[in-house]
Structure 1
Amino acid sequence: MELPPFDEDGLLSSGDYEMSLEELKGSMLVERPEEGYPNWDSGWRMKLIENLEVMVGQLLRVGITEIFVNGSCVEGKDHPYDIDGYFECDVVEFATENLQRE
């Protein structure tokens, strides 16, 4: 998926952008936007995505497929500190701890 360029505030336009981890790794969010950002830390961003990949694998193993990434990692910041994110799951499965048992 091709992402839109960052706006003047370094943000993507509002919305969800469905991507695989491989697409994310090859996107401007890791590689660097086409213009500007001479201090873009692609290596650090890739490390964050590799760590995300571990967590995504754990979530997928218990049946969670709706996983969202947010925060400075999806903004025009040269060196984001971390990745913010969340996932959606069935509240009954979570409350009864069935997810933890799988």
Structure 2
Amino acid sequence: MLAFNSDGLLPPGDYPMTLDVLKQSLLVVGPPDTPNWNRRWRHLLVCNLEILCKQLFHVQDLYPGKISNIYIDGSFVEDKENPNDIDGYFECDYKFFATRQLQDELNRLDPHKTWTWNNESRRSHYISTKKQLPN
């Protein structure tokens, strides 16, 4: 069971879960007695994460062993009522990444072509101080 510590953080470790479980977890529904917890926003963030994860899962199905674990982090996994976004990363085969094959395969699936690791492609967004993927 997930619970924030006195510093508003989850205890160190990994918390394996499906996206459906994540949508019902403390990270979305919030701790008890938190009337300002923005469930709607947090749920929307997870729905957007789900789109990206499904694209990663699809490429993994096409190229078994090239993509593995997906992690989420940042203020989304803290006791923060309104996180700006979800920070995330995944593990993948280095050659698959370095040759841009991964990026190309993901962008074939994504109508917005958001998959890039080029920092110059990132754009400012009104709700975040960090630059975001293009959309």
Q: Same fold (TM over 0.5)?
A: yes
The structure that is strand-richer by fraction is 2
Q: Tell me the alpha carbon deviations over residues 39-98 of structure 1, each in whole angstroms, 9 at most, x when there is no partner.
A: 100000000000000010111111133110001111100011100010100101111233
CA RMSD of aligned residues (A): 1.3
Range with greater deviation from structure 2 (90-99 or 10-19): 90-99
Gaps spanning 5+ residues in structure 2: where?
61-66, 106-135
**2:75 counterpart of 1:52:** no
How many residues align structurally? 99
In the alignment, the residues of structure 1 paired with residue 46 and residue 104 of structure 2 have an alpha-carbon distance, to the nearest angstrom, of 26
Q: TM-score, normalization: structure 1?
A: 0.89
Q: Which has the larger radius of gyration?
A: 2
Q: TM-score, normalization: structure 2?
A: 0.68
1:96 is matched with 99
Amino acid of the residue matched to residue 62 of structure 1?
Answer: V
1:37 Cα shift? 2.5
Q: Is the 8 A contact 1:30 1:42 kept in 2?
A: yes
- What percentage of residue pairs aligned between the two structures are identical? 53
4+ residue runs over 3 A deviation = none
